Amino acid sequence: MTPEAIDKVFRDEAGRALATLIRLVGDFELAEDALQDAFAAALLNWRGAGAPANPRAWLVNVARNKAIDRIRRQRNFRAKEAEIVHAIERDAVSDEAAATPNDLDDDMLRLIFTCCHPSFAPEVQVALTLRTVCGLTTAEVARAFLASEEAMAQRLLRAKQKIRLAGIPYEVPGRHALEERLRGVLTVIYLVFTEGYLATSGPELIRHDLAREAIRLGRLVLGLMPEAPDIKGLLALMLLHDARRAGRTDASGDIVLLEEQDRSLWNSEQIAEGLDLVEQALGVRGRPQPYTVQAAIAALHAQAQSYHDTDWRQIVGLYEVLLRIAPSPVIELNHAAAVSMVDGPARALALVESLAARGGLRQYDLLPAVRADLLRRLDRREEARSAYRAARDSTQLEPLKRLYARRLVELDAGA
C-alpha cells in the first residue's frame, strides 16, 4: 500500500477516529497526539500488508494503546493509573462499535456539541470544529479567520484546555440545552459540508469524506428535533448540492462548471429527498430560515433541465430575501453572479466593484474569479487577465488554479 493511499485512508477516517479517542481519553491534545502516533505506525505496518478491514478501528485501538503509554510516562500519575487505564481499555473500540451508528450515540456528534458549548464565543466554536472535525491545519483555520497562525494556535489551545479544566461534558445535551447550541451546531455542520464541497486547499476539489460526514450528522441532528425547519433546510441544502458531485469534475479531476455539467450524472434520489425536505421546511409558518432559502435556490438549479432553463429571476429574488434575513459579503457576491444572468454582466460588475471597494472579501479568492468572469463576458480582456491572475495566486486549491490558468489561455487564444 503506497503512502498516498495510506494518507487517503487516514483523511477519510481521522475525524471519527479522533472523536472516539477524545471520548476514550477525555483530552483533546492527548487524543490528537496518540492518533498521530497511530498514523506513524500505520505507515510502517500497512505498506506491505495493506490496510486492515476496518482501518478506523485499527487506528483507534493503536492510538488508545499509545495514549496509555503516554499517560504512564506522565509525572504524578501513579495514584490514578489503574483506574484511568481500566476505563480506557473497557471502552476499547471493536469493529462493531466503529460501524456507522443508527442511533444518537455518535462520537462525532458529541464532539461537535462539545465544540459548540455556549461558554465559547461563536468564532471559537467554529475554529475548534474546523480543526478537530474537519481536520484542517491550524494554518488553514487561521486563514479562514484572517488571523496569524500563532494567534490561532493559542486560541485553539486555550479552548482545549478549557474543555479539560472546566470539565465540559463530552455528550449530546438534553432537550433543555439543545436550543441554545443548535445554531452553532448547524453552523459547524454546514462548514464541514462546505469544506467537503469545495476544499480550502489541496489536490482535489471535493473532500468526499467531509461531505458524507456532514450529511450523516445532519440526519442525526434532524433525529433529535424532527420538526425543526432550519435542520430540514440545512439537510436539503447539503443533499441538493452533493447530488451534483459526479458532474462537477472530469476524469482528470478538473472542474466542470455548472453550465457545462452532464445533468444525467446528478443523483436523482438525493434530489428527490432534498426537494421534499425543502417543501416541508418552506411549509412552516414564520420567517424563512437562511438554510431553507439557500436550499430553495439549490432546488431551482436541481429542477432545471439546463443551465439556461434555470429560473434565474426567481434565484435573484431568493438571494434578495437572504440579504434581508442573513446579510453577508458572500451572499452579495452570489447575488451579483445571479444578477448577471438576468440583467447582464455590466449590472453585476457594478455590484461586485461596490462589494470589493468595501473590503469585506479582500482575502476571498472567488471575488476576483467572479469579477474576472464578468470582465471576460464584457470583452474587457486585459482587466479579465489581471483578475484571473489574482484569483489564481490567492487560491490554495489546485483544481481552481488550473481552471483560472485555462481561462488565461483562452483569453490569450481569443486575442
380-385 average pLDDT score: 96
Chain segment 265-285, per-residue pLDDT in tens: 999 999 999 999 999 999 888
> CA–CA separation, 322 vs 333, rounded Å?
12
Amino acid at 2: T
In this model, does residue 236 exceed pLDDT 80? yes
Q: From 134, 137, 163, select the one nearest 152 (Cα to Cα).
A: 137
Q: From 217, 336, 218, 337, select the one nearest 281 (Cα to Cα).
A: 218
Confidence of residue 97 (pLDDT cuts 50, 70, 90): very low
Predicted confidence at residue 187, as pLDDT, reads 87
Cβ atoms of residues 128 and 134 within 8 Å:
no
> CA–CA separation, 63 vs 37, rounded Å?
7
47-57 average pLDDT score: 84
Predicted confidence at residue 247, as pLDDT, reads 97
Predicted confidence at residue 102, as pLDDT, reads 39
Domain locations in the chain as residue ranges:
3-99, 323-415
In this model, does residue 79 exceed pLDDT 60? no
Chain segment 204-224, per-residue pLDDT in tens: 999 888 899 899 889 988 988
Chain segment 36-46, per-residue pLDDT in tens: 999 899 888 88
Chain segment 6-18, per-residue pLDDT in tens: 777 887 788 888 8
Lowest mean pLDDT among 20-34, 99-113, 232-246, 396-410: 99-113
**73 vs 399 pLDDT, higher one:** 399
Amino acid at 209: D
Cβ atoms of residues 99 and 57 within 8 Å:
no
**119 vs 343 pLDDT, higher one:** 343
DSSP assignment of 283-320 equals TS-SSPPHHHHHHHHHHHHHH-SSSTTS-HHHHHHHHH
Please provide the average confidence, as pLDDT, over all residues in the chain.
87
In this model, does residue 93 exceed pLDDT 60? no
Q: From 30, 26, 28, 54, select the one nearest 42 (Cα to Cα).
A: 54
Which grid coordinates belong to 58? 485499527
CATH fold for the domain made of 323-415: 1.25.40
Predicted confidence at residue 91, as pLDDT, reads 55
In this model, does residue 348 exceed pLDDT 60? yes
Q: From 295, 324, 300, 329, select the one nearest 312 (Cα to Cα).
A: 300
Which grid coordinates belong to 393? 495566486
C-alpha torsion sign, points 220, 225, 226, 231: negative
In this model, does residue 175 exceed pLDDT 60? yes
> CA–CA separation, 112 vs 35, rounded Å?
18
Cβ atoms of residues 333 and 348 within 8 Å:
no
Residues shown for the chain: 415
Cα–Cα distances in angstroms (integers) from residue 321 to residues 209, 244, 277, 287, in the given order: 32, 24, 19, 11
Confidence of residue 104 (pLDDT cuts 50, 70, 90): very low
pLDDT above 90 coverage of the chain, percent: 49
Residues 6+ apart with CB under 8 A from 208: 196, 245
In this model, does residue 177 exceed pLDDT 90? no
> CA–CA separation, 293 vs 317, rounded Å?
10
pLDDT above 70 coverage of the chain, percent: 91
